[in-house]
Structure 1
Amino acid sequence: MSESDKNIEFKQLNGVALAYLGDAVYEVYIRRHLIDEGVTRPNHLQRKATKYVSAKAQAGLISLMEEDNLLSEEEQYFFKRGRNAKSYTHAKNTSVVTYRVSTGFEALFGFLSLSGQKERLTELAQWCINQVESGRVVYEK
């Protein structure tokens, strides 16, 4: 399979499939960050990770990305594709709107991963970590 065939394939994936991968990709960045910070106890890892990976945190982060004009047109397109995708799962402990926006956030990370944009992926993940740690994004239960 040629490189251009691979590009066509990922560009044809629906937003939920992109979000499925993006969720895992973003979570790895966060887990790595927490381990690097010295957080090692499982219950602490889970509790701290929620501040970065919850639907509410992700929705807040994508809102800040838009506010800061951080995303390219193509990145906005893949975010919207995820946000607008028909999902057959429902939100847990959050509104449907927040859940859909967070699905768009995850789709963006899935797109960046599948398109081989590792540098951009790392840049956005670090930006997200910085926003959470600066208190710009506040996790609420």
Structure 2
Amino acid sequence: MAQREVDNKKDILSIGSKELAYLGDSVYEVNIRKTLIRLGIRGVKDLNKMSMNYVSALYQADIFSFLKDYFTEEEMKVALRGRNTKIKHSSKSVNISTYRLATALECVFGYLYLLDDTDRIKELMDKIFEYKKAEVI
């Protein structure tokens, strides 16, 4: 398989939504963990329990529905591509439409990470934790 480096916005937009979601899944999760620690949550057991709530497909779908009004036009295009990705299977705990929304959110985080837009990732993370602040404290 021929490989070439992805180094500009046009190249990043040409990456498949499954690949963006694959990367975005880990970007999202590590930023959730980082934010929980920065908020003062301590103890691996508590951190694990809280982070698992934030990274579930059901929660990600809820977050996507909340964040979509904050997405830029470009981010929304990436999200819609992710949402429309052909998915052969999903988690047994959620339906396919919920899984698609979670995939859309992951695509946005993968896209932003490849753009090296850490400020935007942090901005969206702040929105997520403002939205569900009561669940953190």
TM-score, normalised to structure 2, is 0.84
- In the TM superposition, what are the counterparts of 1:1-141 in structure 2 within 5 Å? 6-66=8-68, 69-134=69-134
Give, in whole Å, the separation in 1 of the partners of 2:8 and 2:25.
Answer: 21
What is the aligned length? 131
Q: What's the secondary structure of 1:60's corresponding residue?
A: helix
Label 1:63 to 1:117 Cα distance change in 2 as closer, same or farther (>3 A): same
Consecutive unaligned residues of structure 1, counting only runs of 5 or more, are 136-141
Q: What's the secondary structure of 1:61's corresponding residue?
A: helix
Question: What is the CA-CA distance between 1:42 and the residue it aligns to?
Answer: 2.7
Label 1:42 to 1:123 Cα distance change in 2 as closer, same or farther (>3 A): same
Aligned residues with identical type, % of pairs: 35
Give, in whole Å, the separation in 1 of the partners of 2:71 and 2:105.
Answer: 11
Give, in whole Å, the separation in 2 of the partners of 1:85 and 1:44.
Answer: 34
Indicate conservation of the 8 Å contact 1:16/1:85, yes or no.
Answer: yes
Label 1:101 to 1:42 Cα distance change in 2 as closer, same or farther (>3 A): same
Consecutive unaligned residues of structure 2, counting only runs of 5 or more, are none
Two-structure CA RMSD over aligned residues (Å) = 2.0
Indicate conservation of the 8 Å contact 2:21/2:106, yes or no.
Answer: yes
| AA of the residue aligned to 1:114 | L
Indicate conservation of the 8 Å contact 2:6/2:12, yes or no.
Answer: no
Q: Which residue of 2 aligns with 1:139?
A: none
TM-score, normalised to structure 1, is 0.82
Deviation by residue 1:90-125 (Cα, 9 ceiling, x = unmatched): 223111110111000000111111122221111001
